[in-house]
Amino acid sequence: MHIYLIGMPGAGKTTLGRQLAATLNLPFIDLDEAIEKQAGLTIPQLFEQKGEAYFRQLESEVLKTVSDSAERLVIATGGGTPCFSDNMAFMNKNGTTVYLRTEPDVLVQRLLNQELSQRPLLKGKSETELLAYLTQTITARQPFYLQAGIIFEARDNMQAVAQLSAFIS
Ligand code: S3P
Protein backbone atom coordinates (compact mmCIF):
# COMPACT_ATOMS: atom_id res chain seq x y z
CA MET A 1 0.00 0.00 0.00
CA HIS A 2 1.79 3.11 -1.22
CA ILE A 3 1.45 6.64 0.15
CA TYR A 4 0.34 9.13 -2.50
CA LEU A 5 0.68 12.85 -1.80
CA ILE A 6 -1.75 14.95 -3.79
CA GLY A 7 -2.53 18.67 -3.99
CA MET A 8 -1.88 21.85 -5.91
CA PRO A 9 1.51 22.97 -7.24
CA GLY A 10 3.29 24.66 -4.34
CA ALA A 11 1.49 22.57 -1.69
CA GLY A 12 4.82 20.93 -0.77
CA LYS A 13 4.18 17.42 -2.11
CA THR A 14 7.80 16.85 -3.12
CA THR A 15 9.44 18.46 -0.09
CA LEU A 16 7.14 16.83 2.41
CA GLY A 17 7.19 13.53 0.49
CA ARG A 18 10.98 13.33 0.69
CA GLN A 19 10.95 14.03 4.42
CA LEU A 20 8.12 11.59 5.05
CA ALA A 21 9.90 8.86 3.07
CA ALA A 22 13.12 9.44 5.02
CA THR A 23 11.24 9.31 8.33
CA LEU A 24 9.39 6.12 7.41
CA ASN A 25 12.50 4.67 5.79
CA LEU A 26 10.74 4.12 2.47
CA PRO A 27 11.82 4.95 -1.10
CA PHE A 28 10.53 8.24 -2.52
CA ILE A 29 9.26 8.74 -6.08
CA ASP A 30 8.45 12.09 -7.67
CA LEU A 31 5.93 11.33 -10.43
CA ASP A 32 6.96 14.31 -12.58
CA GLU A 33 10.57 13.08 -12.48
CA ALA A 34 9.49 9.54 -13.39
CA ILE A 35 7.52 10.95 -16.36
CA GLU A 36 10.54 12.96 -17.52
CA LYS A 37 12.73 9.88 -17.32
CA GLN A 38 10.24 7.76 -19.24
CA ALA A 39 9.72 10.39 -21.97
CA GLY A 40 13.32 11.58 -22.18
CA LEU A 41 11.86 15.12 -22.15
CA THR A 42 11.34 17.68 -19.38
CA ILE A 43 7.79 18.59 -18.31
CA PRO A 44 7.96 21.97 -20.14
CA GLN A 45 9.25 20.20 -23.28
CA LEU A 46 6.47 17.61 -23.05
CA PHE A 47 3.78 20.31 -22.87
CA GLU A 48 5.41 22.33 -25.66
CA GLN A 49 6.25 19.52 -28.07
CA LYS A 50 3.49 16.99 -27.39
CA GLY A 51 0.68 18.96 -25.75
CA GLU A 52 -1.20 18.55 -22.49
CA ALA A 53 -3.38 15.61 -23.62
CA TYR A 54 -0.27 13.55 -24.37
CA PHE A 55 1.23 14.54 -21.02
CA ARG A 56 -1.93 13.46 -19.15
CA GLN A 57 -1.93 10.08 -20.91
CA LEU A 58 1.71 9.49 -20.03
CA GLU A 59 1.11 10.70 -16.46
CA SER A 60 -1.61 8.06 -15.95
CA GLU A 61 0.59 5.36 -17.47
CA VAL A 62 3.62 6.22 -15.35
CA LEU A 63 1.45 6.42 -12.20
CA LYS A 64 0.41 2.85 -12.87
CA THR A 65 3.90 1.63 -13.72
CA VAL A 66 5.53 3.05 -10.58
CA SER A 67 2.65 1.71 -8.45
CA ASP A 68 3.52 -1.80 -9.64
CA SER A 69 6.41 -1.84 -7.18
CA ALA A 70 6.10 -4.59 -4.57
CA GLU A 71 7.97 -2.32 -2.18
CA ARG A 72 5.96 0.34 -0.38
CA LEU A 73 6.67 3.80 -1.80
CA VAL A 74 6.00 7.42 -0.92
CA ILE A 75 4.87 9.01 -4.21
CA ALA A 76 4.54 12.77 -4.81
CA THR A 77 2.08 13.17 -7.69
CA GLY A 78 1.67 16.17 -10.01
CA GLY A 79 -1.02 18.74 -9.17
CA GLY A 80 -3.33 17.46 -11.91
CA THR A 81 -2.74 13.72 -11.45
CA PRO A 82 -5.88 12.91 -9.39
CA CYS A 83 -8.14 14.77 -11.84
CA PHE A 84 -7.56 12.75 -15.01
CA SER A 85 -8.49 9.25 -16.12
CA ASP A 86 -9.33 6.94 -13.20
CA ASN A 87 -6.23 8.05 -11.29
CA MET A 88 -7.94 9.04 -8.03
CA ALA A 89 -9.82 5.74 -7.74
CA PHE A 90 -6.66 3.87 -8.73
CA MET A 91 -4.61 5.57 -6.00
CA ASN A 92 -7.28 4.98 -3.36
CA LYS A 93 -7.27 1.32 -4.32
CA ASN A 94 -3.51 1.00 -4.23
CA GLY A 95 -2.65 2.94 -1.12
CA THR A 96 -3.31 5.87 1.17
CA THR A 97 -3.93 9.22 -0.48
CA VAL A 98 -2.97 12.35 1.44
CA TYR A 99 -4.33 15.68 0.23
CA LEU A 100 -2.09 18.58 1.23
CA ARG A 101 -4.66 21.31 1.36
CA THR A 102 -3.27 24.82 1.02
CA GLU A 103 -4.95 28.21 0.60
CA PRO A 104 -4.36 29.93 -2.76
CA ASP A 105 -2.62 32.97 -1.24
CA VAL A 106 -0.11 30.68 0.49
CA LEU A 107 0.50 28.83 -2.81
CA VAL A 108 1.10 32.13 -4.62
CA GLN A 109 3.71 33.26 -2.10
CA ARG A 110 5.54 29.92 -2.30
CA LEU A 111 5.35 29.69 -6.09
CA LEU A 112 6.64 33.23 -6.59
CA ASN A 113 9.81 32.14 -4.79
CA GLN A 114 10.28 29.26 -7.23
CA GLU A 115 11.17 28.97 -10.90
CA LEU A 116 7.78 29.15 -12.64
CA SER A 117 9.26 28.31 -16.04
CA GLN A 118 9.39 24.67 -14.92
CA ARG A 119 5.59 24.69 -14.54
CA PRO A 120 4.04 25.21 -17.98
CA LEU A 121 0.54 25.92 -16.64
CA LEU A 122 1.80 28.74 -14.40
CA LYS A 123 4.59 30.18 -16.55
CA GLY A 124 4.41 33.91 -17.39
CA LYS A 125 1.57 34.69 -14.99
CA SER A 126 1.65 37.83 -12.81
CA GLU A 127 0.89 37.57 -9.09
CA THR A 128 -2.74 38.59 -9.67
CA GLU A 129 -3.16 36.15 -12.56
CA LEU A 130 -1.56 33.39 -10.52
CA LEU A 131 -3.96 33.95 -7.63
CA ALA A 132 -6.96 33.92 -9.99
CA TYR A 133 -5.74 30.79 -11.79
CA LEU A 134 -5.01 28.89 -8.57
CA THR A 135 -8.31 29.86 -6.94
CA GLN A 136 -10.24 28.71 -10.01
CA THR A 137 -8.20 25.53 -10.39
CA ILE A 138 -8.61 24.54 -6.73
CA THR A 139 -12.38 24.84 -7.12
CA ALA A 140 -12.31 22.64 -10.22
CA ARG A 141 -9.97 20.06 -8.66
CA GLN A 142 -11.43 19.96 -5.16
CA PRO A 143 -14.01 17.24 -5.99
CA PHE A 144 -11.10 14.93 -6.79
CA TYR A 145 -8.74 16.07 -4.03
CA LEU A 146 -11.47 15.65 -1.41
CA GLN A 147 -11.71 11.94 -2.22
CA ALA A 148 -8.37 11.53 -0.40
CA GLY A 149 -8.16 9.22 2.59
CA ILE A 150 -6.38 11.88 4.63
CA ILE A 151 -6.92 15.61 4.25
CA PHE A 152 -4.10 17.55 5.73
CA GLU A 153 -3.74 21.28 6.28
CA ALA A 154 -0.06 21.75 5.44
CA ARG A 155 1.46 24.67 7.31
CA ASP A 156 4.66 23.62 8.99
CA ASN A 157 6.61 20.83 7.26
CA MET A 158 8.32 19.39 10.32
CA GLN A 159 5.05 19.14 12.17
CA ALA A 160 3.32 17.69 9.11
CA VAL A 161 5.94 14.95 8.70
CA ALA A 162 5.72 14.02 12.37
CA GLN A 163 1.92 13.88 12.36
CA LEU A 164 1.67 12.06 9.05
CA SER A 165 4.28 9.44 9.86
CA ALA A 166 2.54 8.73 13.17
CA PHE A 167 -0.76 8.40 11.32
CA ILE A 168 0.53 6.16 8.57
CA SER A 169 3.02 3.79 10.21
C1 S3P B 1 0.60 20.24 -13.07
C2 S3P B 1 1.45 20.22 -11.99
C3 S3P B 1 2.89 19.87 -12.12
C4 S3P B 1 3.15 18.99 -13.35
C5 S3P B 1 2.55 19.61 -14.57
C6 S3P B 1 1.04 19.85 -14.44
C7 S3P B 1 -0.82 20.61 -12.85
O8 S3P B 1 3.30 19.20 -10.94
O9 S3P B 1 2.65 17.69 -13.16
O10 S3P B 1 3.23 20.82 -14.80
O11 S3P B 1 -1.67 20.28 -13.68
O12 S3P B 1 -1.12 21.25 -11.81
P13 S3P B 1 3.50 19.98 -9.51
O14 S3P B 1 2.20 19.91 -8.78
O15 S3P B 1 4.56 19.17 -8.85
O16 S3P B 1 3.93 21.37 -9.83
- Tell me the CA distances in angstroms from 120 to 14, 44, 164, one per residue in order: 17, 6, 30
- The predicted pLDDT at position 165 comes to 83
For the chain, domains (ranges, CATH) are 2-164 (3.40.50.300)
| Residue 15 among known ligand-binding residues | yes
pLDDT digits (tens, 9 = 90+) for 117-147: 889 999 999 999 999 999 999 999 999 999 9
Mean pLDDT of the chain: 93
More confident residue, 63 or 169: 63
Reduced to 3 DSSP states, what percent helix, strand and coil does the chain have, rounded to the nearest 5? 60, 15, 30
Q: Is the CB of 80 under 6 A from ligand 1?
A: yes
DSSP secondary structure letter of residue 151 = E
Q: Is 69 left (phi over 0), alpha (psi -120 to 50) or beta?
A: beta
| 113 band by pLDDT with thresholds 50, 70 and 90 | confident
Spacing, Cα 23 to ligand 1 middle (Å): 25
DSSP secondary structure letter of residue 150 = E
- The predicted pLDDT at position 162 comes to 75
What predicted TM-score, i.e. pTM, was given to this entire model?
0.94
| Residue 110 among known ligand-binding residues | no
- The predicted pLDDT at position 115 comes to 81
Q: Is the CB of 75 under 6 A from ligand 1?
A: no
- The predicted pLDDT at position 153 comes to 85
Q: Is the CB of 36 under 6 A from ligand 1?
A: no
- The predicted pLDDT at position 131 comes to 96
| 53 band by pLDDT with thresholds 50, 70 and 90 | very high
Minimum mean pLDDT range among 36-50, 78-92, 150-164: 150-164
From 121, 135, 136, the mutation candidate for ligand 1 (largest count of ligand atoms within 8 A of CB) is 121
